[in-house]
Amino acid sequence: MQILANFIKSILNFLLPKTYLPVDSKSGLWIDWADDTEIQKRRNRESIKTFKDKGYVILSKLIPNQLCDELNQKFSKYVESNHEEARSAEDSFGFHSRLCNFHMFSSKAKEIAFHKTLVSILDEIFSSEAVLCSSLYFEKGSEQRIHRDGPFFYTVPKNLFVGVWVALEDIQEGTGELVYFPKGHLIPISVEKIIQEGGGWSEYSKAIESKCRQLGLGLEKNLAKKGDVLIWHAELPHGGSKIDNSKQSRKSIVFHYKAKLAPIHGEDVFFSKAPVPKFSVFSYKSYNKRKYIDQGIPFFAKNEY
């Protein structure tokens, strides 16, 4: 049925005209507009309230240590089995750049991604079933600049996306810790103005960080413990701090989720550089009755953006 449905969608996309999506549209995430009375009706009300107010919520020690260790062991075995590809992604200290979509290979990664408590909160955040889009396994810090994920996971309507970061070991100072501006998700940035000035992702990211600092928002560093989980809002400004201790790992895994029925697009659509077809065409797989997008085989990629 899925193959047939995707075939029909592909034909219709070919026949129907593509359109450019509006920028600076209203958020489609109910939490962004809900009052405390509505939030108090939810089972995970405390987590949702924190997520709404700060732009993120931390679930301490949610993932068992053993499961974290097992996933790290699976990564080591993956590197051994794919040594040629892995060698090209290895630095002088033996650490690798990020491995994209490790969950397509590892059942342990899927076990973490679909942890019962985690998906219960995600489903309530979306008021819909959360669908796993992709993952990133990090053996070391990313040193990514401060950014929002919106341009890379642009849903229609917007903000029907969340990121989830899981510490797979105790995070040490100087290893490129995850950093973020609490409440930074509340700061409006005019995408239309940036487009009119000929800008894109780089200018958008600069504008976000500049505004956060201008408003006096403090940059918070996450020295997480193994098994800690952080869920962040699509518009939370975050990144990776500078690596001062290159000999120390910073093992973690990131998962990206969207609301079940939300179409999702990339940077070119976000900045109105490309029109979109009428229908999104994805292939899905399932794990314990939870859906995730079929991303094919894992691959290493540079720690950039």
For 175, counting Cβ atoms within 10 Å of its Cβ (0-12 exposed, 13-18 middle, 19+ buried), the class is buried
- How many residues would you count in the chain? 305
Instruction: Quote the pLDDT of residue 274.
Output: 86
Which residue segments constitute the domains of the chain, with CATH numbers given?
Answer: 2-300 (2.60.120.620)
- 10-residue block means of pLDDT along the chain (305 residues)? 62 66 86 94 95 98 98 97 92 95 98 98 97 97 94 93 98 97 96 93 95 96 98 97 95 97 92 81 91 96 77
Strand pairing partners for 161?
258
Angle ∠(120,122,128) on CA atoms, nearest 5: 90
CA 192 to chain centre: 24
SS3 275: coil
Residue 87 vs residues 66, 134, 225, 255, 270: alpha-carbon distances, Å: 27, 23, 29, 24, 34
- Does residue 188 have a cis peptide bond before it, meaning omega lies within 30 degrees of 0? no
Instruction: Quote the pLDDT of residue 20.
Output: 79
Instruction: Quote the pLDDT of residue 280.
Output: 74
Which of 111, 90, 62 shows the shortest CA–CA distance to 228? 62
Instruction: Quote the pLDDT of residue 131.
Output: 98
The C-alpha atoms of residue 76 and residue 102 are separated, in whole angstroms, by: 12
Residue with tokens 């108090």: 40
Confidence (pTM): 0.95
Question: 196: which residues sit within 8 A by CB, 6+ positions away?
Answer: none
The C-alpha atoms of residue 155 and residue 151 are separated, in whole angstroms, by: 9
Angle ∠(69,73,78) on CA atoms, nearest 5: 150
Question: 212: which residues sit within 8 A by CB, 6+ positions away?
Answer: 146, 181, 184, 187, 219, 237
